[in-house]
Structure 1
């Protein structure tokens, strides 16, 4: 009798963790390689679970795909590792006739860029082919946080084989997937796609797993499965541990049965003792065939508060908009910064934008200074956010804090690597790319956490993305802009440009885009700073004409300042003709230079308005 026939009348017990059990033995390298190097260790674990009462065991192949094996230089051994795993499991199960399922693990986490769907399906096809060659009783898909990945994998495998298929999602929070979908909806979609058993595994312990199933209705054709962790994880003396008594886990299995679950196993932290307890407490109890689900009232997500001012990206579509970058201090004296921000505000800037520890050097938090600008000086603040300094927890917390402070203008950037800054030994996080950060910020605008759970209120962020036009092939940079628009970018802020020809080239290359672009202009202050920018700062290149003009100033600071302003004005003449948005970068807190340029831009606009024969050629 096959597994699916058994589940019609029985609750079956699956095995528990493999990886964390090996970890507890002191094995901290590629678990899947043990199928070849230490098969007796893997077989003993299978036998221990079978002795504990497991009706189904899974192969030691969770990470046996090309992407995960490549971390250990083992990508060429996908076939050998998977075939060995099937042989080991079937050898262990043969005497007792336990079911053997070939395991395939999820690849993506939050980052969709970890692998394209085409790459994922190719790896699934490769791994599944080798597992199926060993004639398993079915395939088990586990630890999938990305529902798109799991759905596409199920569809592909149903086209490959008619062997039974278990499809399990993983949740960050009970009842909600990473994409905001309810567990109930996800499991029923998987059933519709052809999965024979649908359920959850990993991340959550028994308590939250039971809680998640309380809102799940019984499938019409498929069966429900649950493989909870032993508990929430803890760290003791630098090692991951799970605190859970086996009997508690067994009692939890009774509650999972009441929610209609028919296949119960364990994930991280579980041991043969946990599985023995599950078997003991279920004690041949029949499965639940009817279940009443009381739908909880959905959490109401309030709309975002109406903005007092038009979003920058909306304003820049139709009228002149000027933003100015002013670096927050690298010390604790904020006097000059606040003097500068006040002067910029008086000059008529639309927003003051502040980098996020540019060049990987610590400065006063732009969140703190942005709050001071907004609440003490009534200045609109635009905060940069890098992917370098904060993990996903810190990024979401930071963004929630900005929303609470009423700072809604954001520039999402990757961030310079730490090795260029004051602390070259510091860790660069990069949990996500700038494009993925934009997507996550847009989730907050829908009132959805990075983890998928509702946040009770929508954020109202206007999200800018960076644009570096100082490249050899501009079309490639524009193609990247198009991808950022797909990710949700509302507008672009460019690196400083130093030739009129480049500004015109940018206009021609981007005129098909409706998304506004702020052209960056940074006045030069000396030949030394000019050569530094040209030769050492990533993404900035000066024209030979600009360098020669600054060289001609020699060490005359006043002359150099005047020449730098004149070069900037000439660039502004072209930029103002072709773009509504102008982005002025203040050099070395020389806000007096930026104030002069703001006045110049405003005067240009006034002249155009008063000139009845002037015709604006293009925006």
Structure 2
């Protein structure tokens, strides 16, 4: 294997493609997961690594992306074995002119403390194997892996640390962080040597995001999906032909780009086509921005809502809570709101299906009350019934209607009698929702934030 520091030299390196989706398509067909195959079917994983090598890949990622999520907090010995075997398999398949990256993915199935503990154990296992190149990929927030980078830097100062983020087509991570903010932070982060984008989007959308970056900066790693998935015969299938993938990804080549490879849906055929396209022609590269687009400016002082203004002045504030109706008849709620306004109430707060009993959506009810009474409203926003995308959508709707305050609520548990039919979400808790709102206040709501 080549030493990881060679990856910092100005040359383009072709990485491998997907492991998980390719294993699902070409693996043994049993119930074992991709990472478990390191122990149960090492011949299959070795064969996949070798096929990528034959396709022209000069960087192999260890088959350990979901090892921490798979083992959870209670199987440290199994996690060590998965990591060690994953590294050994990739290293055995790598030639003298190749790199091996210790691959670590997010563990969103675990809580933050468990994920950090598991990833710390994985990092230590990789270091004990002699890993000198680490790749944190498909993350949504730098804070999820930066403590691990500090650990690596302390124990192996010469290690090369790369990270990669998954974006939606509109340039946001699943936690609502914009590409420009990621770029600004990664360029200034001393423990990150290479950063980039992978997963989430196909080559064309990734190219549009890359065009927003400056032409100068740290080396980049770009590994898009082959395309977008669809369901066929109850299986997730990714689109795009290898030639299309190769043409689009080869067009990403620039002085800054150090690694080009593939993520979900790609196969050795995609990497072979990419290697051939890069070797065959000097394709006209897509331009970067003349300079990196600045991150949205954070307002020096948030705009005051009537509630925030009253509280800041120390004024006594009278708040009344109304429950949205159990049906679609909202007139009684509006009549009550009008009566409260005439009584001198300062603000109405609207609950979000308390006790997990279904009532009208609190955001919709708040919008109607605010439209028809012009009385400040404070809708509750509950994490129990919405994932991060749905919470973000509700916040966008509220903001568009002039509502500038919400109450973040984790939510009551689903009653035991309903649990066979109703499933809780809890993608975030109230603290996570506050963080999401804070992020949106810097991005979509910059200069006109929502108070939470």
- TM-score, with length taken from structure 2: 0.85
Paired with 2:97 and 2:302, the residues of 1 have a C-alpha distance of: 62
Structure 1 gaps, min length 5: 449-454, 464-619
Paired with 1:211 and 1:106, the residues of 2 have a C-alpha distance of: 25
Deviation at 1:383, TM superposition (A): 1.1
Deviation at 1:317, TM superposition (A): 5.7
* Structure 1 equivalent of residue 83 of structure 2: 82
Paired with 2:373 and 2:417, the residues of 1 have a C-alpha distance of: 31
> What secondary structure is seen at the aligned counterpart in 1 of 2:384?
coil
Report the CA distance shift for 1:163/1:60 in structure 2 as closer, same or farther (over 3 A). farther
Contact between 1:143 and 1:201, CA under 8 Å: does it hold in 2?
yes
Report the CA distance shift for 1:235/1:305 in structure 2 as closer, same or farther (over 3 A). farther
Paired with 1:155 and 1:354, the residues of 2 have a C-alpha distance of: 44
Contact between 1:184 and 1:215, CA under 8 Å: does it hold in 2?
no
Paired with 2:130 and 2:83, the residues of 1 have a C-alpha distance of: 12
* Structure 2 equivalent of residue 104 of structure 1: 104
Q: CA RMSD in A?
A: 3.4
Task: Report which of the two structures shows the higher radius of gyration computed on alpha carbons.
Answer: 1
> What secondary structure is seen at the aligned counterpart in 2 of 1:168?
strand
* Structure 1 equivalent of residue 188 of structure 2: 189
2:355 alignment partner, one of 359, 364, 387 = 359
* Structure 2 equivalent of residue 461 of structure 1: 450
> What secondary structure is seen at the aligned counterpart in 1 of 2:244?
helix
Deviation at 1:264, TM superposition (A): 1.4
- Cα deviations by residue, 1:399-449 (Å, 9 ceiling, x for unpaired): 111122222232211122233687862121111001111222233333x2x
- Residue 249 in 1 paired to residue 245 in 2? yes
- Cα deviations by residue, 1:335-364 (Å, 9 ceiling, x for unpaired): 543333333222221122221112212222
> What secondary structure is seen at the aligned counterpart in 2 of 1:78?
helix
* Structure 2 equivalent of residue 443 of structure 1: 439
- Residue 43 in 1 paired to residue 46 in 2? yes
Task: Give the 5 Å matches for 1:100-179.
Answer: 100-107=100-107, 114-116=111-113, 122-136=117-131, 138-162=133-157, 164-173=159-168, 178-179=176-177
Deviation at 1:123, TM superposition (A): 3.6
Report the CA distance shift for 1:357/1:279 in structure 2 as closer, same or farther (over 3 A). same
1:274 alignment partner, one of 267, 270, 276 = 270
Paired with 1:263 and 1:300, the residues of 2 have a C-alpha distance of: 28
Deviation at 1:276, TM superposition (A): 0.3
- Cα deviations by residue, 1:460-504 (Å, 9 ceiling, x for unpaired): 4332xxxxxxxxxxxxxxxxxxxxxxxxxxxxxxxxxxxxxxxxx
- Residue 33 in 1 paired to residue 32 in 2? no
Paired with 1:6 and 1:437, the residues of 2 have a C-alpha distance of: 39
* Structure 2 equivalent of residue 414 of structure 1: 410
Contact between 1:226 and 1:264, CA under 8 Å: does it hold in 2?
yes
> What secondary structure is seen at the aligned counterpart in 1 of 2:411?
coil
* Structure 1 equivalent of residue 16 of structure 2: 15
- Residue 371 in 1 paired to residue 367 in 2? yes
* Structure 2 equivalent of residue 235 of structure 1: 231
Paired with 1:297 and 1:103, the residues of 2 have a C-alpha distance of: 30
Q: How many residues align?
A: 443
Paired with 1:56 and 1:296, the residues of 2 have a C-alpha distance of: 28
Paired with 2:82 and 2:213, the residues of 1 have a C-alpha distance of: 36
Deviation at 1:114, TM superposition (A): 2.8
Structure 2 gaps, min length 5: none
Paired with 1:215 and 1:331, the residues of 2 have a C-alpha distance of: 47
Contact between 1:175 and 1:213, CA under 8 Å: does it hold in 2?
no
- Cα deviations by residue, 1:558-583 (Å, 9 ceiling, x for unpaired): xxxxxxxxxxxxxxxxxxxxxxxxxx
Deviation at 1:301, TM superposition (A): 7.3
Paired with 2:374 and 2:177, the residues of 1 have a C-alpha distance of: 37
Paired with 1:373 and 1:21, the residues of 2 have a C-alpha distance of: 52
Report the CA distance shift for 1:311/1:247 in structure 2 as closer, same or farther (over 3 A). same
Paired with 2:302 and 2:39, the residues of 1 have a C-alpha distance of: 59
Task: Give the 5 Å matches for 1:587-606.
Answer: none
Contact between 1:108 and 1:145, CA under 8 Å: does it hold in 2?
no
Deviation at 1:255, TM superposition (A): 1.4
Deviation at 1:272, TM superposition (A): 0.4
- Residue 92 in 1 paired to residue 64 in 2? no
- Residue 206 in 1 paired to residue 208 in 2? no
> What secondary structure is seen at the aligned counterpart in 2 of 1:193?
coil
Paired with 1:459 and 1:62, the residues of 2 have a C-alpha distance of: 39
Task: Give the 5 Å matches for 1:58-73.
Answer: 58-65=61-68, 68-70=70-72
Task: Give the 5 Å matches for 1:267-306.
Answer: 267-283=263-279, 293-295=289-291
> What secondary structure is seen at the aligned counterpart in 2 of 1:270?
coil
Paired with 1:154 and 1:285, the residues of 2 have a C-alpha distance of: 37
Paired with 1:194 and 1:163, the residues of 2 have a C-alpha distance of: 12
Deviation at 1:265, TM superposition (A): 1.4
> What secondary structure is seen at the aligned counterpart in 2 of 1:311?
helix
